[in-house]
Structure 1
């Protein structure tokens, strides 16, 4: 089974079993809603601890969660530095032209004329749009903005992304 990172527990919050999560998901309301099943992977453990969310709220830049059966700070202190993940069966269907990072990373990038550019190795969130790091077999990485004018086709079945080369894009 494949697991996907949705956040990291960075600390506890208060004495009533809340944990402070640095979220890595675009869907916090869905991932952290009451009743959601999550897996916590600790740094030195091979097996996850499965938990069920009982409450979720936002506080500053963090998501605060409580879990069923963990009513106080002493119960949740052990989860500090744990990575919260969901299984692939928990992933939801996305809208058209929306993709999970794991679907894009590893795809080959070619131009609309068939020229091989490289492979997507990283996705950088900029606020306005994502920027894909495309690493060629040799040479420096290129940074491709994920915008309609540049990205023309994404074929997940063949793991190929077709882009239109704009002036200065690969310099």
Structure 2
């Protein structure tokens, strides 16, 4: 059984020979996005796609897929997600890196063991990744996946230990602070 990882999103066509720009969404592009790689797609009607060639041009990854020979065919793939099949036992090369499937459904707790919730989604933003955590009451909280906040990932215990700053978990503290700011400036 394998796990699917989104490793890129196709951008606009580049040139007239079927190349596309790719927004890379993996820390291992040389492994996942090299020539010969076969990728599933979302929407599925676009693929699977086999990478024919790849190169970096002006800081952007450009790929050409087998069977995509002109600009029109390349442009038709715009916004398609590229998905790699990964063995669930495979681990990233760096010890403090994780694949999304390893983090999904981890329990999120404070250092003292207080339950915060469960990771239901991981959002990959340009500046950082976010854990979307479902609280026991059904509400959601976003936790930045940064070293200053996520103190420990324990895959054996299936938990993420966090040390959040004031106001991150308890929205009432943030609301009190913002209300105080509004009243101080006369609003």
TM-score under structure 2 length normalisation: 0.69
Q: CA offset at residue 117 of structure 1?
A: 0.7
User: Equivalents in 1 of 2:42, 2:167: separation in Å?
Assistant: 44
Task: Check the 8 A contact 1:2/1:88 in 2, yes or no.
Answer: yes
Q: Give me the CA root mean square deviation.
A: 3.2
- Structure 1 match to 2:38: 38
Relative to structure 1, the CA distance from residue 167 to residue 31 in structure 2 (aligned partners, 3 Å threshold; closer, same or farther) is same
Unaligned runs of 5+ in 2: 171-187
CA gap of 1:139–1:84, structure 2 versus 1, over 3 A, is closer
2:176 corresponding residue in structure 1: none
Once residues 41 and 145 of structure 1 are traced to their aligned partners in structure 2, the CA distance between those partners, rounded to angstroms, is 28
Residues 102-149 of structure 1, C-alpha deviation per residue, up to 9 Å, x if partnerless?
32232111122222110123334362x544332202164333343444
CA contact (8 A) 1:40 1:50 kept: yes
User: In structure 2, do the counterparts of structure 1 residues 87 and 169 end up closer, same or farther at CA, with 3 Å as the change threshold?
Assistant: same
1:70 to partner: Cα distance: 4.2
Q: Of residues 79, 84, 90 in structure 1, which corresponds to 2:82?
A: 84
Match in the other structure for 1:141: 140
Displacement, 1:4?
1.2
In 2 relative to 1, CA 139–51 (structure 1 residues): closer, same or farther, beyond 3 Å? closer
Displacement of 1:76 = 4.1
Tell me, yes or no, if the aligned pair for 1:112 and 1:164 is still in contact at 8 Å: yes
**3-state SS, counterpart of residue 7 of structure 1:** strand
Aligned residue pairs total: 167
Please state how far the C-alpha of 1:95 moved relative to its aligned partner: 0.8
The separation in 2 between residues aligned to 1:71 and 1:139, in whole angstroms, is 48
SS at match of 2:169: coil
Tell me which residue corresponds to 1:66: 64
- Greater helix share, 1 or 2? 2
Q: Which residue of 1 aligns with 2:181?
A: none
User: Could you list the per-position Cα deviations for residues 49-79 of structure 1 after superposition, in whole angstroms to 9, with x for gaps in the alignment?
Assistant: 241332222446x421123454443654553
Given that 1:5 and 1:86 are in contact with CA atoms closer than 8 Å, whether structure 2 keeps it comes out as: yes
